Structures are given as structure tokens and as C-alpha cells.
Chains A and B, each alone.
Chain A
Amino acid sequence: MTKKNKRFKLETVGLTKSFGSKKVLEDLNLQVEDNESLVVLGGSGSGKSVLIKTIVGLLRPDSGSVLLDGDDITNLSTKGRSNLMSRFGFLFQGGALFDSLPVWKNISFYLIHNKYISDEEARVIAEEKLHVVGLSKDSLDLYPSELSGGMQKRVALARAIANDPEIIFFDEPTTGLDPIMKNVISELISKCRKEFGATTITITHDIDTVKSIASKVALLYKGRIVWSGPEHEIYKSGDPIFDQFIHGRIRGPIKVEGVSEK
């Protein structure tokens, strides 16, 4: 038995993933401590979504491993994976609410199908979780198509936290929302960490979101983490790629198609 490394809540070791000939993640190493809020930055198409989907097991890495509390969770059986999911929460970019189910069944979905709770219990829990995300019980019987974008995100968040997960993943949580709703969601993400003690991993390309929720920041570029450090150091990283990204400069080490060198 190898000695478990308990220092990190979650760790990726040499994670590699390609689609065809395109290498999306290349020998990627990332560490997240317990109750930390990690924000992974990256340009559009940089493989941020692939990274978190590989971590939770929606995608299988070509090589490398993912460690949770020091245990390798990369190649679990379907059943093992299913048990593991109870410790994770995942907020998808578009919410990914089940459109055939009302809000309350969406929120309690995990508990209905894994803990076999009754409809009454499911409604009570759904109401509780809706309250956490700042929505009233009036929405319980609505269908996802009847909700606005911001409300869908909040209901999806309520669903992601319904099983009191240890780690919550946020895939572009604030993309496509108005500035106020952005802050509402950011505040909810911080709340997950501060009040429920969860570890959060957020991917985004939005610098405002970084400032409001991050305790640790990392930049994904060309399949690797080029810089990572605490949030208060983002303006003194000393890394030219990171610097260019957070200031949004169009010239620098990151080459943009259609932009001349000078």
C-alpha cells in the first residue's frame, strides 16, 4: 500500500486527453485543498470543460489519474462511479435541467432515484434548496422551460447541492447572465463554500467572477496549467501568459488569429 497523500482534497496527476489528433489536456497537474475555491481560467476552446468533465468521470482520460482524498478515482466501475457521484455536485453551463420534469423533481432527482425518498419528502427538500438559492416555493411546480435563464441556473444549483456534496463543479456559471444575476450566482457559489464547507472548482473566462469567488486561480493554456496561485496575487503573477490573459491584451505570448504582431 502506498501512503495516501491527504494534503489535497483533489489532485490530478499527469492528466492527458486528446480528441483524435487534437491534444486537449497534456500532462496536467492540479491540486485543490479542502474548502478551497479554485477558479480555472482559460480562453474559449482551451479545454476547460474537458478538464472538469474528466475530473468527475464524464470523460475518461487517456492517461494520468485523478485522486480524491488521496484515493485514485480514475478507473472506477459503473457502481463505484455512481457511489462517488454522491460526493460531487455539478452545475452545467446551460443548467441541463430535465425539461420533462417539474422543478421539484429536478432538484430532488438524486434523492428520489438513489435514496428512494417519497414525493412529500422530495418536495420538502426541494423547497429547502430553493430557499437556499433565493427562490420561493412558487416555482416548485413550474417546468424548466417556464423559467428565465437566471432562474434556471439557480434551480440547477439547487439540484447540484441537493445531496450536500463535498466538491461542487461549476461550468461557466456566470456566462450569458446580466451583471446583477452574475453577482447573485457568484454570491451563491461563495455561500456553498463558506456556509456548507464545500470545496468548489469553477471554470470561467470572466475576470469579475474570479475576483468575487476565487481563493486560488489557475490558467489553462495549451492543455497545461501555466500559472496558479492565490487570488490576491493575480496582478503580480510575473507570468507573461497569465498577465496577458487577465488584462485581455490582444498582443503577447498568446497569439490571436487575425491580429498582427505589432
Chain B
Amino acid sequence: MKMIARIGRLTLDFFADVGKVVLFAYKGTQCVFTTPLYFSQILDNLIRIGFFSIPVVGMTALFTGAVLVLQSYAGFSKISSETTIPMVVVVSITRELGPVLAGLMVAGRVGSSIAAEIATMKVSEQVDALQTLAVNPIRYLVAPRLIACTLVMPILVFIADVIGILGGYLVATEKLGFNAALYLNNTMTYLKADDVISGLVKAAIFGFVIALSGCYSGCNANKGAESVGTATINAVVMSSVLILFLNYMTTQLFFTV
């Protein structure tokens, strides 16, 4: 009986948490589409989230593209590799690896920092202070981050697409001796607007999820330094899992229907 009770309890807790996150997302989104918007906060977050994530996203994309070429070169027969390798690189990066890897890197870098920052504010009563100064914390802290992260992720993923394909190109032509013109030509043949756009739409969804996880975990910190640490972990785990889950759901939606 104890076992069943425990399973029941865990299931109930899980759905209660899902409900809380959905409610939080609703409140946050409501503040995104109503005034006042805090433009200085949005700008500040655009720079912190977007601009300073370019190096880490770029590095990830560069090495991913490079390693894709090495692995597919080892796998495909040498004869067909001239055409298949650019295709593999271009399709997998624009459709999947660009958005997912950039999403996971940004989740680690930005989701954690959002959570730590808001949790620290919560623990040191700065969130309460906002309320006593007649400023809605969701409006001031959450909405700007949701906006900034959702806007900036597609841009980051676009950059990742370009750098990832470039990484593949460099390895193929410099190390494996492919013909540069032919490689580029094949790349362009398989580069489809639909693939790129689907990746960018995913990116926007992931951006929203990263900011949401960070803000939700941060706002639920209660007391002490430990809860700041817990909030950070929760934010990264929650956003990573949601990114992988939503990636599957959106792929199913975009490519099988």
C-alpha cells in the first residue's frame, strides 16, 4: 500500500507543479502583451542574454559542424561522400543541431544566471521591495526576460547555422581535400528555407522556455544561500528537459504532418 500511496503522491505533486508552471507562464505572458513594458530592462537583457551568448553558441556550432563532417566521412563510402556530406551537415544543423545545441548551451549559460539573479533578489527581499514600491515583480523581472530570450534565440540559432556549416566546410575542404566549389554548390542545393525557418521557430520556443524556467525557479526560491543553488539547478534541468521534449513535439508537428 505504501508503494501505491507514494506513486500517487508523486503523480499529484508532478501535476501540481505543471499547473504552477503553466499559471506562471500565463501571468508572465499576460505582462508581455500589456503595458507598461520596462524597455530599459528588455534592452539590458537583450544584451546580456543575446550578445554575450554569441561566443559560446558559435564555438558549439563550429565544432559540431566540424565533427559531423569527420563522422559522416568515416561512415559514407568515399564515392558518394562529395554529395552526401554537405547534405548531412546542412540538414542536421539547420533542422536539429543548431536549435537544440544552441538551446542547451543558452539554457546552461542564461537560464542558470536568470535563476540565480532572481533567487538572490527573492532571498534578500528585493522582490518584496519591488511590490512595496508599487512595481509588479512579474512585469519588471519576468516579462523583460521572456521577451528578450524569445527574440534573441532565433538570432543566435541563425548564427549557429552559419558557423556550423562553415565548420563543416573548413574540415571538408582543408582536411579531407574536398573541392571547395563543389562542396558549396552541394550545400546550397540542400539548404532549404523551410528547414531554416523551422529551426528558427523552434529557437523562439526554446528561448521562451529557457527564460520561463529561469524565472520560475528563481521566483520559487525561499530562504538562504542554498535555495539560490537549488533554483539554479532546477532552472537548468527544467529548461534542458523541456527543450528536448518540445524539440520532439515540434519536429513531429513540422515534419510528419
Give A contacts to B, CB under 8 Å: 53, 56-58, 78, 82-83, 85-86, 88-90, 92-94, 96-99, 109-110, 113-114, 159-160
**Which of the segments B83-91, B127-135, B183-191 contacts the partner chain?**
B127-135
A83 with B134: CB separation less than 8 A? yes
B13 at the interface (CB under 8 A from A): no
Measured between beta carbons, the chain A residues less than 8 angstroms from B136 are 78, 82
- Mask of B98-141 contacts with A, CB within 8 angstroms, 1/0: 00000000000000000000000100111011011111100010
B124 with A85: CB separation less than 8 A? no
Question: Which A-chain residue is minimally distant from B41 (CB atoms)?
Answer: A100
In the docked arrangement, what's the CA distance between A257 and B54, Å? 57
A96 with B134: CB separation less than 8 A? no
In the docked arrangement, what's the CA distance between A126 and B16, Å? 45
Which of A93, A99, A109 sits near B125, CB closer than 8 Å? A93
In the docked arrangement, what's the CA distance between A56 and B133, Å? 11
Q: How large is the interface on B (under 10, 10 to 19, 20 to 34, 35 or more residues)?
A: 10 to 19
In the docked arrangement, what's the CA distance between A107 and B126, Å? 13
B134 with A90: CB separation less than 8 A? no
A92 with B133: CB separation less than 8 A? no
Question: Which A-chain residue is minimally distant from B131 (CB atoms)?
Answer: A58
Measured between beta carbons, the chain A residues less than 8 angstroms from B135 are 82, 109-110, 113-114
> In the complex where A93-B125, A96-B125 touch, is A109 in contact with B131 (Cβ < 8 A)?
no
> In the complex where A94-B124, A96-B124 touch, is A113 in contact with B133 (Cβ < 8 A)?
yes
Give B contacts to A, CB under 8 Å: 36, 38, 121, 124-126, 128-129, 131-136, 140
The smallest C-beta distance from A84 to any residue of chain B, in angstroms, reads: 8
Offer 16 A-B interface pairs, CB within 8 angstroms, sorted by A: A56-B132, A58-B131, A78-B136, A85-B131, A90-B132, A94-B125, A96-B124, A96-B126, A96-B128, A99-B126, A110-B134, A113-B36, A113-B38, A113-B134, A114-B133, A114-B134
Smallest CB-CB A-B distances: 10 pairs = A85-B134, A90-B132, A96-B125, A96-B129, A110-B133, A82-B134, A92-B125, A96-B126, A113-B135, A109-B133
The smallest C-beta distance from A139 to any residue of chain B, in angstroms, reads: 19
Question: Which B-chain residue is minimally distant from A98 (CB atoms)?
Answer: B126
Measured between beta carbons, the chain B residues less than 8 angstroms from A97 are 126, 129
Given A57-B131, A109-B135, A113-B134, 20 extra CB contacts under 8 A? A53-B128, A58-B132, A78-B136, A82-B135, A82-B136, A83-B134, A85-B131, A85-B134, A86-B134, A90-B128, A93-B125, A94-B125, A96-B125, A96-B126, A97-B129, A98-B121, A109-B133, A110-B135, A113-B135, A114-B135
The smallest C-beta distance from A164 to any residue of chain B, in angstroms, reads: 13
